[in-house]
């Protein structure tokens, strides 16, 4: 097998492992205008297969370095909030350049809404996966954070606590579960011996994990084998008594819904949990609860929390109407999207528009829209991430 192709396949395997079975849930809230709530599932694993396979995005694009280099690496496109709106508008804004390339090179790939959701889910996870850790920095962390005083790694270090390399070799999820489950018995001794609870930031945990595991790459491990729907069940069982999601749940700990900023890579999320362990454990004890997690439960909770960050952007139809006009969509589609001879009436076929289906419509009609804009000398309308939710609300309004 030629090296490039082999590398590609290896990368795909890693990406699949890193994203396996993570279901991304887009929960669309029930609106007064009586759209039925949607529960779209985009699967990053399927998205990866489409991206590198049938839809041939990888002819031009790479993700985390693997793929073509004609067009931007899409994992470098780090989604802001809302992630969906951000990715969709990135694609929209670059449509003219992209469509010109695609037209010149091959037959144009068709994408339905499910495929688009899968690809966006894949890009979202890929942009938030752990980069390879630094083993030297990890050894330093192990010393500096004081772990070495009690734990050994491959026989060097203290022996009052378990040797850690086997558990780290199990990957980020196993490591996180072990830390979480042992935090209760560790907090006393650790704070006594070290004088304080050692906190982690940035890439610390990633580096530590690579060192402790002996160089087993975190990203090659099945660290993200979580299922968001199962994670929601775990969350309700183990976390919701203290944490709320969109206001539903306990108020003892911080709200963990999409507006609350949290890191999404497995090891950065692990750092956040670790830093807060003393407060959580103290409260759990006071409430007579010891939140012990099974191995897959940790992965599932992480998948659930990540999926919350991938929400459908919400918006206002009134702002949307303004955006539609100010950005120049109305030039061709009319002030109320009623259609002109330059562009059709915009009407969702069947279900209401979502960010995914609007992006799918762009993908389908984009080349013609771009042509039309060029013919007429109209500048391509540039959108901002927040516009998308507003546009969707505007296009879905019931009365015209
Ligand atoms: C024939 C080459 C080609 C193919 C195939 C292609 N693209 Fe692109 N894409 C481009 C180019 C070129 C740009 C940058 C255009 C510009 O900036 O003017 C781009 C830009 C983008 C952007 C915006 C990137 C950013 O950094 O803001 C996204 C997202 C994107 N493409 C997604 C896709 C997806 C998903 C597929 C597959 C369904 C795909 N592209 C297939 C050439 C391609
Ligand atoms: C004061 C001693 C002490 C220090 C310092 C300490 N630990 Fe521990 N650690 C323990 C003990 C004791 C256990 C076993 C707890 C139990 O059995 O519940 C443990 C268990 C663990 C486990 C679970 C091991 C397993 O086999 O399941 C992990 C992971 C861990 N520690 C990580 C760390 C890290 C990372 C650091 C440094 C930031 C650290 N510990 C610092 C005493 C310590
Ligand atoms: C007994 C109450 C309690 C339970 C149960 C609990 N937590 Fe917490 N959690 C807290 C408290 C209190 C804090 C804030 C701690 C602090 O500020 O140091 C916190 C902090 C956090 C944070 C950090 C938030 C931030 O950005 O600062 C995360 C993430 C988190 N918890 C996740 C979870 C998950 C996931 C579960 C279920 C597996 C869970 N917690 C179970 C009480 C709890
Ligand atoms: C230069 C004229 C022009 C501009 C500007 C323009 N469009 Fe279009 N649009 C078109 C044309 C022409 C079509 C039909 C393309 C086809 O038939 O494939 C279309 C199709 C669409 C569709 C698909 C409609 C369907 O039936 O599924 C959507 C959605 C859409 N445009 C949204 C927008 C939005 C949102 C904007 C502003 C950000 C915009 N358009 C700006 C010309 C334009």
Contact 83/115 with Cβ under 8 angstroms?
no
Contact 11/66 with Cβ under 8 angstroms?
yes
CA distance 250 to 44: 31
Which pLDDT does position 12 carry in this prediction? 54
Which pLDDT does position 155 carry in this prediction? 81
27: left (phi over 0), alpha (psi -120 to 50) or beta: beta
Instruction: Report whether residue 149 contacts ligand 2, using a CB cutoff of 6 Å.
Output: yes
Instruction: Report whether residue 90 contacts ligand 2, using a CB cutoff of 6 Å.
Output: no
CA distance 218 to 269: 14
> Torsion angle of alpha carbons 80, 84, 85, 86, nearest 10°?
40
CA distances from 297 to 86, 178, 302 (A): 30, 12, 9
Nearest protein CA to atom 25 of ligand 4, as residue: 346
**Ligand 2 atom with minimal separation from the 192 CA:** 1
CA distance 122 to 23: 10
Instruction: Report whether residue 169 contacts ligand 2, using a CB cutoff of 6 Å.
Output: no
Identify which of 324, 343, 354, 363 to mutate to test ligand 4's pocket (most ligand atoms within 8 A of the CB).
Answer: 343
> In angstroms, what is the span from residue 63 Cα to ligand 1's centroid?
11
Contact 277/180 with Cβ under 8 angstroms?
yes
Q: Which residues line ligand 3 (CB under 6 A)?
A: 238-239, 241-243, 252-254, 262, 272-273, 276, 279-280, 283-284, 287, 289, 291, 293, 301
Residue 276 C-alpha from the chain's centroid = 22
Give the closest ligand to the alpha carbon of residue 196: 2
Per-position b or e across 17-30, b if 16+ CB within 10 A of its CB: bbbbbbbbbbbbee
| Per-residue pLDDT in tens (0 to 9) along the chain, 400 residues | 445 555 555 555 544 433 332 333 333 333 322 222 233 457 777 888 899 998 889 989 998 888 999 888 888 766 666 677 788 888 888 888 888 888 766 677 888 888 888 888 788 877 777 777 899 999 999 999 999 999 999 888 888 889 999 888 887 778 888 888 888 788 889 999 999 999 999 889 989 988 998 876 555 444 445 677 788 888 888 888 889 887 888 898 999 887 788 887 778 888 888 898 888 888 888 876 667 787 778 878 877 787 777 767 778 888 999 999 999 999 999 999 999 999 999 977 667 888 888 888 888 888 889 999 999 998 898 998 888 889 999 998 865 5
């Amino acid at each position: 097998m030629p090296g490039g192709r082999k590398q590609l396949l290896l990368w795909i395997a890693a990406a699949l492992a890193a994203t396996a079975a993570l279901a991304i849930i887009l929960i669309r809230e029930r609106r007064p205008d009586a759209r039925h709530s949607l529960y779209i599932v985009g699967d990053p694993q399927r998205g990866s297969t489409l991206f590198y396979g049938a839809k041939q995005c990888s002819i031009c694009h790479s993700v985390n370095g693997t793929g073509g280099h004609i067009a931007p690496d899409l994992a470098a496109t780090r989604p802001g909030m809302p992630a969906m709106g951000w990715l969709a508008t990135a694609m929209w804004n670059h449509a003219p350049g992209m469509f010109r390339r695609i037209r010149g090179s091959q037959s144009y790939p068709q994408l339905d809404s499910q495929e688009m959701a899968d690809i966006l889910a894949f890009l979202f996870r890929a942009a938030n996966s752990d980069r390879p850790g630094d083993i030297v920095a990890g050894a330093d962390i192990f010393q500096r954070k004081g772990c070495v005083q009690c734990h050994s790694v491959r026989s060097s270090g203290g022996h009052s606590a378990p040797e850690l390399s086997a558990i780290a070799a199990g990957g980020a999820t196993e490591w996180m579960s072990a830390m979480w489950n042992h935090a209760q018995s560790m907090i006393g001794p650790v704070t006594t011996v070290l004088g304080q609870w050692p906190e982690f930031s940035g890439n610390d945990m990633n580096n530590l994990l690579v060192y402790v595991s002996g160089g087993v790459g975190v990203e090659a491990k099945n660290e993200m084998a979580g299922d968001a729907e199962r994670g929601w069940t775990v969350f309700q069982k183990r976390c919701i008594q203290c944490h709320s999601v969109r206001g539903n749940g306990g108020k003892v700990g911080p709200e963990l819904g999409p507006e609350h900023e949290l890191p999404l890579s497995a090891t950065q999320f692990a750092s956040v949990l670790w830093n807060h362990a003393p407060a959580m454990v103290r409260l759990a004890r006071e409430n007579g609860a010891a939140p012990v997690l099974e191995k897959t439960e940790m992965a599932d909770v992480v998948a659930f929390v990540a999926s919350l960050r991938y929400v459908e952007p919400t918006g206002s139809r009134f702002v949307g109407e303004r955006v539609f006009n100010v950005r120049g969509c109305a030039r061709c589609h009319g002030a109320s999207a009623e259609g002109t001879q330059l562009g059709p009436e915009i009407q969702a076929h069947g279900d209401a528009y979502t960010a995914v289906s609007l992006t799918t419509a762009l993908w389908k009609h984009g080349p013609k829209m771009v042509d039309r804009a060029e013919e007429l000398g109209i500048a391509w309308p540039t959108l901002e991430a927040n516009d998308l939710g507003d546009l969707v609300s505007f296009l879905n309004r019931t009365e015209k």
